[in-house]
Structure 1
Amino acid sequence: MRVRTRTERAVVGAFREGARLDLRGRRDAGVRGELLRFLLLGGVPAEAGRLQVLWLVGARVAGPLEVEYADVAAPVELEQCVFDRPLSFFGSHLRRLGLEGSRMPGLTISNARFDASVRLVGCRAGEVGAGLAEINGSLLMDGARVAALDAISLRVGSDVLAGSGFACGGELRLDGAAVGGVVRCEGAAIHAFSARHLIARELVLRPVARPAGGVDLRHARVGVFRDDPDTWPEVLRLDGFGYETLAGDTADRREWLRRDEGRFRPQAYARLARAYRDAGRDDDARAVLLAGERHRREGLRWPGRWWGRLQDITIGYGYRPLRAAAWLAALLAAGTAVFGAQRPRAADPAGGPEFVAPVYTLDLIVPVIDFGQQAAFHPRGATAWLAYALIVAGLLLVTTVTAAGARRLRRE
């Protein structure tokens, strides 16, 4: 290929020698994209003992730079360069790619394979396509600003770092991605985030502002999850979201679960409760499970809602056992006071047991225990209605305790 300018001649020379060429401050910093493609495809023979490198700083690249389905031996470092056309490395194999501080209308690295990291730190780009790309190192995007990022089924050996002012104007999609290290979006500005089926050791999601478009974490699997309650989105999709640890978590995540779009999802409450138990926060775990029962009740028909509300009031669905003790104590005190003042009539005045008001009341309330008092004495007048009421209340209390206990055992 014919070299047209002194700048292009310098680019060819630096490439052949494996040297860094800084074009900042030159009057003519322009170079054609087709020349760079020519170099990367082996257009200039390598000198013995030298590693060819395309390392430019401050170049203005005119025309398309499309290196597709190619095996590129030379590392590519194009720092603070300006491109007037989108870049494409679709389906290629590269050793290293760095576009730090550069500006471009778009970038495609989909289906490409990289032996080392891909550096997009501080770059400005339109849509970035990275679907099905394989990066053995890290994907570094700190401080970058892109119109959208499509990284479906991306494979990254180390980390995905998109913080320190990273901004994505459209969707940021990591659906089905597998990340060997962490995914960190701390300090980022994201308007929509999708990470369905993401697999990562750690996910740090702390944008500088609340994402307006929602966050989709359905069926993602992460070891450690870090976020910020101040930037929880209005709409969350958490169906099947799994995590081992909630790092530094002090927030009331019942509200976090309530933002999950769609119907009640029991596994989301069970997963959060398990994380709290693993952290030794048993009280918080019970509070989450109770919140889950209340959420589930909202979708039931009126008999189910009525029965659920009764369980909630009396024993908190089994997660507030002291409520049952309080109700029992209140019923026992009321019965003892009334029957102590107006003693029931003995069924056998000659040979019956001695009347004991607390034991008689307890015999009415607890149907599974027979102290012999209920059969030996018969209430009179208005106290008969109280006795019936205590019997019904006792049956309901025992039934709700039994049902809640069985449900809790099944879930634990």
Structure 2
Amino acid sequence: MSALTWIAAGSVVVWLWLLLGQGFFWRTDIRLPRAPAAGPGAPVREPGAPVGGPGAPMGGPGAAACGPGAAIGGPGTPADEQPGGWPSVAIVVPARDEAAVLPASLPSLLAQDYPGPAEIFLIDDGSSDGTGKLARELADTHGGLPLTVGSPGEPEPGWTGKLWAVRHGIALAASGHPADFLLLTDADIAHEPDSLRELVRAARAHRLDLVSQMARLRVATGWERLIVPAFVYFFAQLYPFRWVNRRRGRRAAAAGGCVLLRREAAERAGVPEAIRQAVIDDVALARAVKRSGGATWLGLADRVDSVRPYPGLGELWRMVSRSAYAQLRHNPLLLMAAVAGLAVVYLAPPVALCAGALTGRPVLLTAGAAAWALMTVTYVPMLRYYWQTLWLAPLLPLTAFLYLLMTVDSAVRHWRGRGAAWKGRTYARPSAAPGE
């Protein structure tokens, strides 16, 4: 067989593996774990299990003893009625030039229907568009949870701007009575009124140190429809949620837009200081928590949404390319491997199908069609999650080609000294940071 036929056959094998052996990454049923039913005989549900899936007894290092069939908190005790009532929460919102999105996001935090004490700390990270002033005006207009606006000044060497702002927010929150939980959420994230309550309920009921939801990104324009669902699809392929949620597993990840973190777990992991240089800060945070023995959970959101628009290809391109090369550890060999992998897995199937049809080679045509069909089938659940037409599924090779170009562009920007650029700041690779 020709080289293209071998490549197409290899692509079929890879897609069979991705379909069955990569943690069922393509499924979209990993949602916020519900509190277990109260009463004797109620099972404690494994946080990595899909909604509606079979329960499993909790375990792992640091977990309190829990007999078979016992509900968390003891027989007959609902998860939200455990001793001590509802814990306190500090909501930390790093914000840099976010005046355009704050009117759609901040009121949703102010309006949180949370039974315990909660306070918002919005950290204005050197904004030039009046972000801090607007935040105060919105708080005065809408009322709700108390809001404190702080400004940490320019980041010290070796810190990214976002983590510098998060550090300042955590310090502000700790200046009074340190909160039991920290909710780290981006300035473009809108929460339904019960979002915080359900996050805390899940963390307490399943003894989780970190609970993160992948916010549903905005999908309104043609480019957003083509690229945004694939962004989450590719992320889940790299970090299958079922693997991430294994208590003794090594895979760790989080979605930075919505992370509920126990204060004790943050202190134990030494964050944010331990990850101060991280460009992909959410994954670094989850790794630090998991390394320190914490239990983490990541899944798709139903009631947490990003309101940030990416109307054109340029905005989406910058969103992906600013961190793509950092994901590859700024390693040229990993870049070449990623480009080759994308080409074999996503681009070879349609090329093989077309070549087989034009040359009358049935083996080549069949291999290309089979790989393309498997690819399409795995993309359908994500399109349904985003309420998009299924006709976009066969276009995944085109989307993957765009991501390939974005990844290469990310490396080129890094080599030209522009690195991970975001809102006027450019971050070098961590090893280049002063004093490190």
Q: TM-score, normalised by structure 1?
A: 0.22
Q: Which structure dedicates a bigger proportion of its chain to helix?
A: 2
Larger Rg: 1
Q: TM-score, normalised by structure 2?
A: 0.21
